[in-house]
Amino acid sequence: MMRLPSTLALVAALAPAWAGSASAFPGCNAFLEKLRAEASELQLDYSHALVVSRAHTDGVTFDIVTKSDVDGTLMCSGDRFQRFEAHVTEPATPRATTGFDRLQAAALRAALGWDAGKSKSTLRSMASDAKEYYAASKERGDVYVAGKTEEHVSGGVSLGMIHTDVDRAFVIVGPE
């Protein structure tokens, strides 16, 4: 019986930290500015994407382009960050691979405020898993050959990495 109050006290103590993580997540405009600063060597630029749909939405989509054969998409609802995706086509040149690695790391730093070491370590681990799953998918002869992995971080944020025959993608899904 004594465990229940201490467990409740622990949950009550951690609740503001969990709530603070989601509220500390940057809005779309702040994310774009941070991403531009973090990835300045990629000469990143963005524009509003034209989206044709029958469904009404308050969503805004940005196309992100770089000078290193890497592109991305940012989806927002008003100024609320919903999803960021970075893409590179396969087979990728060394320049494109380097650009993709830099854009992913810059996005993590811009979205989550992580330092360079934590960003690189997380991405290295996810890329290793995705490559391993991709090789296994090829070996099995899957109809859709792909390697996918995901991680969930504090604040309700999800990260995903996908490797296929035609491209690689990295995804950040913002808190709900």
Tens of pLDDT, residues 76-104:
998 999 999 999 999 999 999 999 999 99
- The pLDDT tens digits for 117-145 are 999 999 999 999 999 999 999 999 999 99
Higher-pLDDT residue of 35 and 52 is: 35
Separation of alpha carbons 32 and 35, rounded Å: 5
pLDDT bin (cut points 50, 70, 90) of residue 59 is confident
Full DSSP string of 42-82: GT-EEEEPP---SS---EEEEEEE-SSS-EEEEEEETTEEE
pTM for this model (two decimals): 0.82
Q: What share of the chain has pLDDT > 90, as a percent?
A: 72
The label of the residue with tokens 């360079």 reads: 116
Taking the C-alpha atoms of residue 102 and residue 36, their distance in angstroms, rounded to an integer, is: 12
Placement of tokens 């960021």 in the chain: 84
